[in-house]
């Protein structure tokens, strides 16, 4: 083991107490295997209905054996990938045991590096990403507690670069023009319900991307609010603004228009924080590099290509506060020259 283990691990302020030696027994790990305990309970996000995740890494996946629970995932070759059990003594917490090989982790690390390198070549949203279970695995190993590490040479933070992973996830989330184009279309058409519905998703994506740059590697959308609550004090204006926006009444047309305006302002604030965060790690591209890439990405587009120019303007807003605010871009004439509702103008 990598350290002396206490016979008690207390979670949720002591409401959940687990025995790491029992977990090791239930993991069915052999000598030489690595065992990592992880999950949102350890992050402080979870609740009494959350799972405990146990990862066992070995040279080869185990075979099904007598006495193994029937709730499991088997590969075609009879090797075990996953087992679920209930820890009755710990308020019926579900234990999710997953098995991987060292070779699989090395392959995943190479895939992460390749995608990360590609994501730095442009500022347009980068939609290629890892499988969601692979993303979850990386996050869980980066935030977990090693229970067994006989050789003492398993270092997940050296296998997976947190900054590269967070930058890739930022690039997956931030600045999608197709989504912003839909917002312009629904606003221009006076379809406030569609505009507001899609604006919620767009706002969450931009804030989520920023939170990855801030170092939170949890990729699960269901934990957005808890991730938001865990932000440092310098993000309090954004955190409070997003929560107020999500809980504000949006029943009347006036309230819907106001909600769209406020969401644009919150996204502008998010972009401002993002510009600052891009300076905090050399694995991120800088604001200067991003602006240069943006100009390179659109150098071959004709001036009259309105879609390209609108996307360029959106990307420049992400990396420069000298570009028009997001609301002004939303309220401007669309590339389809649809009629804009002139009865509404942003508050000053």
145-149: strand order across its sheet: 72-74, 80-87, 93-101, 52-58, 34-38, 145-149
Q: How far apart are CA 57 and CA 152, in angstroms?
A: 13
CB-CB neighbours of 45 under 10 Å = 18
Which pLDDT does position 37 carry in this prediction?
Answer: 95
pLDDT along the chain (348 residues), means of 10: 67 84 90 94 87 94 78 77 80 87 97 98 97 97 92 87 98 97 96 98 98 97 96 97 97 97 98 98 97 92 80 96 95 50 41
The DSSP bridge pattern shows strands 52-58 and 93-101 to be parallel
- pLDDT value at position 344? 39
- Topology of domain 9-160 in CATH is Beta Polymerase; domain 2 (3.30.460)
Distances (CA, A) of 52 to 83, 104, 264, 268: 12, 22, 38, 37
Beta carbons of 184 and 306 less than 8 angstroms apart: no
Domain ranges of the chain: 9-160, 165-331
- What pLDDT is recorded for position 303? 64
- Nearest Cα neighbor of 203 from 234, 166, 232, 246 is 246
Q: What one-character DSSP code corresponds to residue 72?
A: E
Long-range Cβ contacts of 266-269 (<8 Å, 24+ apart): 266/203, 266/207, 266/238, 266/241, 266/242, 267/202, 267/203, 267/206, 267/207, 267/326, 268/317, 268/325, 268/326, 268/327, 269/237, 269/238, 269/241
190: Cβ contacts below 8 Å, ≥ 6 apart: 341
């Amino acid at each position: 083991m990598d350290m002396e283990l206490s016979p008690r691990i207390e979670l949720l302020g002591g409401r959940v107490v687990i025995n790491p030696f029992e977990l090791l027994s239930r993991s069915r790990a052999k000598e030489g295997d690595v065992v990592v305990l992880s999950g949102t309970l350890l992050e402080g996000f979870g609740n009494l209905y959350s799972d405990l995740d146990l990862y066992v890494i070995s040279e080869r996946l185990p075979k099904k054996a007598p006495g193994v629970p029937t709730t499991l995932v088997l590969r075609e070759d009879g090797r075990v990938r996953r087992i679920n059990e209930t820890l009755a003594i710990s308020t019926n917490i579900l234990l999710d045991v997953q098995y991987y090989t060292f070779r699989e982790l090395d392959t995943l690390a190479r895939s992460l590096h390749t995608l990360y390198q590609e994501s730095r070549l442009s500022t347009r949203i980068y939609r290629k990403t890892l499988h969601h279970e692979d993303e979850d695995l990386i996050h869980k190993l980066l935030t977990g507690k090693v229970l067994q590490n006989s050789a003492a040479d398993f270092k997940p933070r050296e296998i997976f670069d947190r900054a590269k992973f967070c930058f890739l996830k930022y690039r997956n989330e931030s600045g999608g023009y197709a989504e912003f184009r839909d917002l312009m279309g629904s606003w221009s058409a006076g379809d406030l319900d569609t505009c507001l519905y899609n604006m919620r998703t767009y706002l969450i994506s931009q804030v989520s991307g920023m939170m990855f740059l801030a170092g939170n590697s949890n990729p699960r959308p269901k934990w957005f609010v808890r991730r938001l609550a865990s932000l440092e004090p310098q993000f309090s204006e954004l955190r409070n603004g997003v929560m107020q926006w999500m809980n504000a009444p949006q029943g009347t047309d006036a309230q819907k228009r106001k909600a769209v305006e406020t969401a644009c302002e919150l996204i502008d604030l998010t972009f401002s924080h993002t510009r600052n965060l891009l300076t905090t790690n050399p694995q991120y591209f800088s604001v200067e590099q991003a602006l240069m890439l943006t100009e390179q990405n659109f150098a071959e587009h004709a001036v009259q290509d309105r879609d390209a120019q609108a996307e360029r303007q959106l990307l420049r807003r992400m990396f420069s506060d000298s570009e028009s605010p997001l609301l002004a871009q939303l309220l401007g004439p669309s590339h389809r020259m649809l009629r804009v509702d002139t009865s509404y103008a942003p508050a000053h």
